Structure 1
Amino acid sequence: MSLSIYDTTVPVFTRMLTNLLVFLDKAEADAAARKYSTDVLVDARLAPDMIPFRGQVMIATDHVKGCVSRLAGQPVPSWPDEEKTFDELRARVQKALDLLATITPEALSGGETRDVTLKMRTGEVTMNGLDYVNQRALPNFYFHITTAYAILRHNGVPLGKSDFIG
């Protein structure tokens, strides 16, 4: 039995975004215990030329809304990237979870063969939905979730593999 495009995306996104909320909660608790501001973590990065933590969260949620919307043949919602606090980042993650809760298997039916066109720096790229999920959406989503996790760990937040896996 093969998994549907819904099974390949929505439960995975939901689980990992829920885990991201745990990362935020643990980071906030760590900041309180060690008496520092979470503002430090919002702008933290692993290297000077990397996107900061807040950007990792924004991009991860962008991949979620982009993926399910494209697979459903719907316009991708526009969310301004204005989050600057943990509460605002938490709200953004919750907004993505709320969007996922509205997506049904029927909404994504046929999404694996639907053409998805992405606007890249080098021009437009079109691929079928399954290739889009496997080659673009999921790898990018995991990259940004993993980087968000790594930024927090690098800054001493006591996260472990079980927090990442859920």
Structure 2
Amino acid sequence: MTFGYGIDAVDRTPTLREGLTRRVGKGRVHDLRPLQGVIVTIRLRHGLQAYYRFTHGLSCEVAMSFSVYEITVPAMLHGLRVHDDYLDHAQRLERSRGLAPGEVLQAALAPDMLSFGKQSSISCNKVEAHMSKLMQRDLPAPVEPAMTYPALKGRLLETRGFLQAIEPNMLNSAQTHTYDIKPTIAHGWYGGDDYIRHLVIPDFFFHVAIAHAILRHLGAQVGKRDYLGNLSQQSGGYS
């Protein structure tokens, strides 16, 4: 048996039990024993849902349901900020090593791999392509910015604007579609969940990781903290 209650993030209380005691729908609950075996669905922001199943002793088993928006847009915005930071690291490395301006942008891990500058620009193209596909829009033409720091930073800024203009409801049906993926990376038809989990997110962060590896290989002082970027802990896990 499942009941759905419109509880705002469990009223931001330390425990679900306390939150339900103080607020369930419009009433008040003082005896939670009838909830044993019940699944409570809590609606959060941007289409997220939390599922709590009360077991013996009123302990809780918790599962989360994330929306496509929450899985993609915040993560990509975060990754683009990391790319922007890496461009700053690259400039500092050039100055400290006496390298020609833009020399790091041309560096690659292997002859058949994209350069550091291209890792940044292709990430932007991947964001626009993947998100347009998820929104059932025509794919935009890839952008090829000049391999200069101002041009690459401008492209990152433009792509962040593209992501920030996406509303959660624009992605509501993304999981229900199938996607025709063309070579070279993969090919065939993918369901929405598989496309997002196994291609969209890994494909995007591959280029962030390679940019990191190039900087590290050249001797830049970057580590895991730089790759993870500016992490912030929000009260209750939601804002």
Q: TM exceeds 0.5?
A: yes
| Equivalent of 1:78 in 141, 151, 172 | 141
* Matched-pair contact (CA < 8 Å) for 2:125–2:143: no
Answer yes or no: is 1:30 the counterpart of 2:90: no
* Matched-pair contact (CA < 8 Å) for 1:27–1:38: no
The equivalent of 1:56 in structure 2 is: 119
- Deviations along 1:52-108, whole A, 9 cap, x unmatched? 112212222222111211111111221332431122111121121110000111111
* Matched-pair contact (CA < 8 Å) for 1:53–1:148: yes
1: CA distance, partners of 2:97 / 2:185: 45
Larger radius of gyration between Structure 1 and Structure 2: 2
* Matched-pair contact (CA < 8 Å) for 2:119–2:210: yes
Unaligned runs of 5+ residues in structure 1 are none
Larger helix share, 1 or 2: 1
Between 1:6-15 and 1:63-72, the stretch displaced more is 63-72
The equivalent of 1:19 in structure 2 is: 82
* Matched-pair contact (CA < 8 Å) for 1:65–1:77: yes
The equivalent of 2:182 in structure 1 is: 119
* Matched-pair contact (CA < 8 Å) for 1:38–1:86: no
* Matched-pair contact (CA < 8 Å) for 2:105–2:147: yes
1: CA distance, partners of 2:186 / 2:164: 32
The one-letter code matched in structure 2 to 1:9 is: T
Answer yes or no: is 1:3 the counterpart of 2:59: no
1:122, CA displacement in angstroms? Answer: 9.4
Identity %: 31
Q: Secondary structure at the match of 2:188?
A: strand
Provide closer, same or farther for how the CA distance between residues 140 and 38 of structure 1 changes in structure 2, counting only shifts above 3 A.
Answer: farther
The one-letter code matched in structure 2 to 1:70 is: K
Q: Normalising by structure 1, what TM-score?
A: 0.91
Unaligned runs of 5+ residues in structure 2 are 1-63, 230-239
The equivalent of 1:99 in structure 2 is: 162
2: CA distance, partners of 1:13 / 1:132: 15
Q: Secondary structure at the match of 2:222?
A: coil
* Matched-pair contact (CA < 8 Å) for 1:54–1:83: no
Q: Secondary structure at the match of 2:174?
A: coil
1: CA distance, partners of 2:220 / 2:109: 14
**Matched residue count:** 166
